[in-house]
Structure 1
Amino acid sequence: MSEAHAHASHTAVATRLRRAEGHLRRVIAMIGEGRPCLELATQLQAVERAVAEAKRALIHDHIDHCVTGAAEHDLAEIKSLTKLL
């Protein structure tokens, strides 16, 4: 098992994920309520976006704090690439 690994940004990432969890719970409730598919799809898009933003923040934090020995140009390029995830 790996040792505990935390960054200052992990709290913000967890907050984003809790927000996504709340959206997802709401979508599940909306399904039970028989809400229109367009409303469901819109809310699911919000869930996907929240998870994607949490992932992006986590990756950027990792690059900023854990990637060592890379040139500044390389870090900028890696950040640009991760925006496409």
Structure 2
Amino acid sequence: MSVHPSHPDIIKRLKRAEGHLRSIVAMLEEGRDCLEIAQQMQAVESAVANAKKTLVHDHIDHCLEHAVEGVGARDAISQFKAITKYL
């Protein structure tokens, strides 16, 4: 398993989004206004997308740098192509 410097921040963001998502479920169960719920869902979606973007950029910055040094350019390019589909 490989832990990168950005992982603690990503974990913090995802846990915050997880709590936020639970509150949205409660809002639905309470019959709260749909517009308010949709706004909160957008905030969770944005938080998860930003966490994913941070993870992908971290992979590009760190993992591929090491791949070029140790494995070779061909494998590094293959990894780069694979990870960019998540952007």
| TM-score category, normalised to shorter length | 0.7 to 0.9
Residue 38 of structure 1 and its aligned partner are, at CA, apart by 0.2
**Runs of 4+ deviating beyond 4 Å:** none
Match of 2:61 among 52, 61, 64: 64
Match of 1:13 in 2: 10
Displacement, 1:8? Answer: 1.1
2:17 maps to amino acid: A
Is 1:29 the counterpart of 2:26 in the alignment? Answer: yes
Q: Which has the higher helix share?
A: 2
Distance 1:9 1:67 in 2: 15
AA aligned opposite 2:59: H
CA shift, 1:16, in A, is 0.6
2-structure distance, mates of 1:29, 1:5: 36
CA offset at residue 10 of structure 1?
0.3
Structure 1, unpaired ranges of 5+: 71-77
User: 1:64 & 1:51 partners in 2: Cα distance?
Assistant: 20
Instruction: Return the letter of the residue paired with 2:39.
Output: T
- Please give the TM-score of this superposition, normalised by the length of structure 2: 0.74
The 3-state SS of whatever aligns with 2:5 is coil
